[in-house]
A and B are shown apart, each in its own frame.
Chain A
Amino acid sequence: MRLRPKAFCGLVIGAACMTALAACSSSSSNVPTTGTPENGGVATFAELPATTPNYIFPFTSSAYISVSNTNLFQYLMYRPLFWFGSGASPTLNTSLSLANYPTFSNGGKTVTITLKHYMWSNGTQVTAQNVMFWINMEAAVGQVDYGAYTNFPNPVVTSSKVVSPTELVLTLNKAYNSTWFLYNDLSQITPMPEAWDRTASGPSSCSTDVSDCSAVYKYLNAQSMNLSGYVSSPLWSVVDGPWKLSQFNSDGYVAMVPNKSYSGPVKPHLSEFEELPFTTDAAEYDVLRAPSSSSKIDVGYIPSQDLPAKPANAAVGTNPLAGYSLAPWYQWGISFYTMNEQDTIGDHGAIIKQLYFRQAMAYLMNEQAVIDGPLKGYAFPTVGPVASQPVTQWLSAQLKSGTQFPYDPAKAKSLLTSHGWTVVPGGTTTCTDPSLCGKGITKGSGLSFTFPYVSGLAWVQAELTQLQSNAAALGIKLNLKPEPFNTVVAGYSGNCVVAKIPCNWDMADWGLGWSFAPDYLPTGETLFLCGAIANSGGYCDSSDDAMIDQTLTSSNLSYMYSWENYLSPQLPVEWQPNAPYQITEVTDNLKGVTPQETTLAITPENWYYVK
C-alpha cells in the first residue's frame, strides 16, 4: 500500500463501467477486441503535469518511486515477476506474468516459483537466478533503499534456493495467507538481468551473494542518476519487456520502440510509443484541442474544469472534444482525511479519540454531494479500508451495500448532545458534562480545529468547504488552511509519535488517499496497525490488530470481511470520495487503450491504429 504521490493529482473524472472483477486465477491479458490491428504508427501519451519519469532502475528508492517512474516507464521495459491488473480488475494476471502461479506446500511454508520462458533482449534467458538477484538486493539494502519495502524478504523468508534455471524455492518463517504473500511480497519482485550484476570495477555476484549487493546497488543507482545516458547505457538496454528505450530527455520526453526479442504473449503493433511532458493540464488540453504537425496527443486527459458533469447512471458524460473518446481511469485505492488521535493541542486528541465524535464527523461528510458536485459524477464513495470500486472478492457484503454514514446532520447532532455537548449552531459547541464527553475532555472544551489540506485540487477544497459549513451548523469550527501537497504530506501523513514529527495538528487532508500498489491486497498492516508509521491518525485498537494479523496468516476471506466490517465504522480515518486518476481522452482511431488498468499500468503493446 502506498500513498498516491503527486503524480496522482490527476484530476477529477471518470465514471464508468467498472466490470465485476474476475477471480485472480482466471485473469487474462488485455487483448484488443475491436477493429483490425494495423501495424505501425506512433502513439503519443500525455504525462500528467510536472510528473515526468526520471529514474530507470526498477529497484527504486522512496525518492523516486511513483506512477510515472514505475508504472508508466519501467514496467514497459522491465516486467515484474507477477503482473497485477487485468483491465479494471487489480488481480493477478497470469498471462502477463513471467512466472506461473506459485505453489504453496509444507503447510504454506514452502513456496515454489516456476518461471515461464522469457528472454532478455541480449539473448539470455530470464532465470530463477535473476529473481534471486532482486531478492538478495532487497535483503541487503531494501530497508533503506527500496521505496515499496514490506519487510520482504526478511524476516518472512528464512531461506531461498535456486533449484534450476526456471525454479526457485522460498521457505517462510511461518505459514502466511498465500494471497497476501503473493499480492504484497512477491508482487515487489522484478527480475534483473545478469548484465546488471556488476560494479564500476567489473562483474559482481549479488545474485548469489548478498554481501555483494550493497556495492551493486550503489553502482546501479548512480547509473540511474545519469539521465542523459539511459539510451546508450549497456545496462538499461537489456530489457525483457515489450519496449526498448529509443530516446529520453531529462525534461520528461520518452520514446520507445518495440523490443524485437520480446517473448511475451502480446507483441507491439505500434512502431513507436512516446510520452510527452506538460507543464499544466491546461497546456495539455490546448494541444488536445488544437493538434498541429509538431504536436499531437493520442492518449491524453481532460482537466476537471473542462469536463461536463456526467448524467446520473451514465457511464460517461458528454465529451467536449471531437475525435476523442472519454475513458475515466480509476485506481485501486481508498481516499480519506486524517484526524489526529495523538494530537497534543489541549484536549483535542482526547476528543478525536472518541468514536462518537469521529462518527459525528462522518455523518457531516456528504460524499454523494461531493461526487455529484465538484467531482462531476466521476468518483466512488470510500466506505471502509477496502476500495468499493472496482468491486473485488475482498469487499464484504456489508461494505458492498454502501456507506454506513450517509449524510445526516441530525444523527451527528444527536451523537454530540447524547455525549454531554451543548450544540451551538454557528457558534462553538462545548462540553458541558465531562463525564459523558469522555476521558480527558474538560468542561467548557470547545470543538474548534485547524484543518490543513492540499491546495490545487479543486474538488478537495469544495468538499472541505462543504464540510466546514455542515460542521459550523453544529457548532464545530474547522479552520481550513490550504497548503502545498508536499507540506501536507511532510507534516501530517506519518504517525507523528513513531515518525518523531510534531503532533500539534488536528486534522489533515492530502486529497489522494492511498493506492494499493505494488502491494495489491488491501490488508491493513501498513495503514491501520497500531504503531504503524504510516498510520497517520495514530488509531490504535487491539481488536483491529488481531484481525489484521488473521488476514495476513489465513487465506480464509471471512477474516478479511470481519476485519473490514469492524474497522469501517471505527473510522480510523474519515472516508471521503475516491477521485479517478484522470479522465483519459483517446483518439478515435487508436484502439486497445481501454479498459485501463486500475493498477495504473499501461500496456501500449495492446494499442493499434485502425483505418
Chain B
Amino acid sequence: MALYLVRRLFQAIVVLFLVTLITFALLRAIPGNVAAAVMGPNVYRNPAAIKLFDQTYGFNKPWYSQFLLWLGHLLQGNLGYSWDLNQSVASLLGQRLLKSGILVGIAVILAVLIAVPIGMLQAVRRNKLADHFFNGFSTLFYAMPSFLLGLLLILIFAIKFPIFPAEAPQGLGVGVIFGNFNAMILPIATLTLITIALFSRYSRSAVLDNLTEDYVRTARAKGASQRRVLFRHVMRNSLIPVATLLGLSLPQIFAGALITESVFNYPGMGLLFYQQAQKQDYPTLLGIVVVVALATIIGSLLADIAYAVLDPRVRY
C-alpha cells in the first residue's frame, strides 16, 4: 500500500505539471495585449504603463520563461497576485475555497445519505410504485440544469412563499454562513437534489447487481433476514461505484457549484473562475486550476483507497 501511495504521488506530480503547463500555454495563446485586456484601452493614454505592466508580470518574456517563473513561485508557495481583484491569489482562494467547500461538502454528504437508501429502496422495490416514483424523481433532477432548479426554488420558496432568503449569506469568512444558515438552505437544496439524482441511479443499479450475486443467495440460505442481507452485505458492496463516482465527480460538482453560486449570489471558487476567465486574470485562473487538479487527483486517490476499505479483495 505504501509503495502504491508513493507511486500515485509521483503520478500526481506529473499530472499536475502537465495540467498547469497545458493550461498556461492555452492561456498565453489568447490573442491581444494582456495589459490592455486588464486595464482597458485607457491604458493607451500612457504606453509606459503597458511596458511597466509587462515587465512587472513577465509578459515581455517568452511564454515558457513565464511558465518557469510561475512554477518557481508556486514551489515557494506563491500563487501570484490578481491584478484585477487587487489581492493575492492565495488569499482569494483562502476566502473562496472554504465557502465552496462548505456548500459542496454539505450537499455531497446529504446527497450520499439520501441517495444510497433511495437506490436501495428502488432496487428492493424494483418496478414497484416507489421505484417508478424515484426513477422519475432522479430523471427529472438529473436532466434539470442547476440554474433552472435554483431559480425555481427561489421563485417558490423566496418569492411566492417567502420562507427562505433569495440570496446566500453575505460577508467574509465562514462565520456568516453559520450565523445565517437559513439563507444556505436553498443553495444547498439545489446542489443536493441534483447530486442525489446522480448518486441514486448508480446506487440502484449497484444494489440490483449485488442482489443477484451468489453471496446474497448464500446469506439468505443461511437464514439471514432481508434487513441483514441488505445492510450487512449488499450495502457495503454497492458503495464501491458510489465511492468511485464521488472521487471522480469532484470537478463536476465544482462546476455545478459555479452555477449555484452564481444564482444565489454566493461568491465561491467556481464563480471566481468563471468571472476571472473573462478578464484574462491568469494568476487566479492558474491558481484555481492547481487547486481543482489537486482535488481531482486526491479524489481519485481517495476513491482507490475506499475500494480497498470496502472490498477486502482489492489489494495494492
Contacts and interface: CB of A to CB of B under 8 A. Distances in A.
Contact of B40 (A3, A280, A292): A3
Contacts of A295: 165-167, 170, 183
B139 interface: no
Nearest to B258: A279
Interface string A205-246: 000000000000000000011010000000000000000000
A279 B31 contact: no
Nearest to A276: B170
B183 A294 contact: yes
Given A295-B170, A490-B280, A279 B36 contact: no
Find the residue from B262, B264, B265 having the highest chain A CB count within 10 A.
B265
Interface in A272-300: 276-280, 282-284, 286-287, 289-290, 292, 294-295
B159 interface: yes
B46 interface: yes
A558 interface: no
Contacts of B172: 249-251, 253
B30 A487 contact: yes
B39 A62 contact: yes
B37 A487 contact: yes
Contacts of A148: 42, 45
B263 interface: yes
A278 B42 contact: no
A150 B278 CA distance: 29
B32 A283 contact: no
B267 A489 contact: no
Contacts of B32: 487, 489-492, 501
A487 B280 contact: yes
Find the residue from A143, A225, A493 having the highest chain B CB count within 10 A.
A493
Interface in B97-146: none
Contacts of B39: 61-63, 65, 147
Contacts of A490: 30-34, 36-37, 280
A495 B31 CA distance: 16
B36 A499 contact: yes
A294 B169 contact: yes
Contacts of B312: none
Given A286-B158, A495-B44, A227 B86 contact: yes
Interface in B260-316: 261-267, 271, 275, 277-280
Contacts of A544: none
> In the complex, which range does the number of interface residues on chain B fall in?
35 or more
A292 B87 contact: no
A290 B161 CA distance: 10
A62 B42 contact: yes
Interface residues of A, number: 63
Contacts of B166: 283, 286-287, 289-290, 292, 295
B33 A526 contact: no
A385 to B, nearest CB: 16
A148 B38 CA distance: 15
A251 B271 CA distance: 12
Interface in B55-87: 83-87
B2 interface: no
Interface in A388-445: none
Contacts of A280: 262-263, 265
A485 interface: yes
Given A277-B267, A499-B33, 17 more contacts: A2-B41, A6-B279, A62-B43, A63-B83, A144-B46, A144-B52, A249-B172, A283-B264, A292-B183, A486-B37, A487-B32, A489-B40, A491-B32, A492-B32, A493-B36, A533-B44, A533-B47
A526 B45 contact: yes
A59 to B, nearest CB: 13
B41 A494 contact: yes
B49 interface: yes
Contacts of B252: none
Contact of A486 (B38, B86, B261): B38
Contacts of A144: 46, 48-49, 52
26 contacts: A63-B84, A147-B39, A149-B46, A253-B170, A278-B265, A279-B261, A279-B262, A279-B275, A282-B151, A282-B262, A286-B154, A287-B166, A290-B158, A294-B169, A456-B278, A487-B280, A490-B30, A490-B33, A490-B37, A491-B31, A493-B40, A494-B33, A499-B33, A499-B44, A499-B50, A534-B44
Contacts of B170: 251, 253, 276-277, 294-295
A68 to B, nearest CB: 12
A64 interface: yes
Nearest to A5: B40
Given A61-B49, A499-B33, A286 B167 contact: yes
Contacts of A251: 95, 170-172, 267
A147 B36 contact: no
A605 interface: no
Find the residue from B159, B167, B180 having the highest chain A CB count within 10 A.
B167
A487 B29 CA distance: 12
A145 interface: yes
A283 B167 contact: yes
Question: What are the 8 A-B residue pairs with the smallest beta carbon separation, nearest first?
Answer: A490-B32, A490-B37, A491-B32, A283-B265, A62-B39, A493-B41, A533-B44, A286-B166
Given A2-B42, A286-B167, A534-B41, A486 B279 contact: yes
A485 B158 contact: no
Nearest to B275: A50
A289 B37 CA distance: 35
Contacts, number: 192
Find the residue from A63, A290, A486, A495 having the highest chain B CB count within 10 A.
A486
Find the residue from B50, B86, B159, B278 having the highest chain A CB count within 10 A.
B86
A484 interface: yes
B46 A499 contact: no
Nearest to B37: A490
A55 interface: yes
A487 B38 CA distance: 9
A249 B159 CA distance: 28
A54 interface: yes
Contact of B42 (A50, A65, A225, A491): A65
Interface in A1-60: 2-3, 5-6, 50, 54-55
Contact of B167 (A63, A150, A287): A287
Contacts of B264: 283
A494 B49 CA distance: 14
A484 B84 CA distance: 15
Contacts of B279: 6, 484, 486
A328 to B, nearest CB: 24
B228 to A, nearest CB: 48
A148 to B, nearest CB: 7
A536 interface: yes
Contact of A63 (B53, B263, B271): B53
B46 A146 contact: yes
Nearest to B44: A533
A279 B262 CA distance: 6
Find the residue from A65, A251, A279 having the highest chain B CB count within 10 A.
A279
A373 interface: no
Contacts of A62: 35, 39-40, 42-43, 45-46, 49
A533 B45 contact: yes
Contacts of A489: 32, 36-37, 40-41
A311 interface: no
A473 B166 CA distance: 47
Interface in B3-49: 30-49
Contacts of A64: 86
A140 to B, nearest CB: 13
Contacts of B171: 249, 251, 253
Nearest to B85: A54
A294 B87 CA distance: 27
A534 B267 contact: no
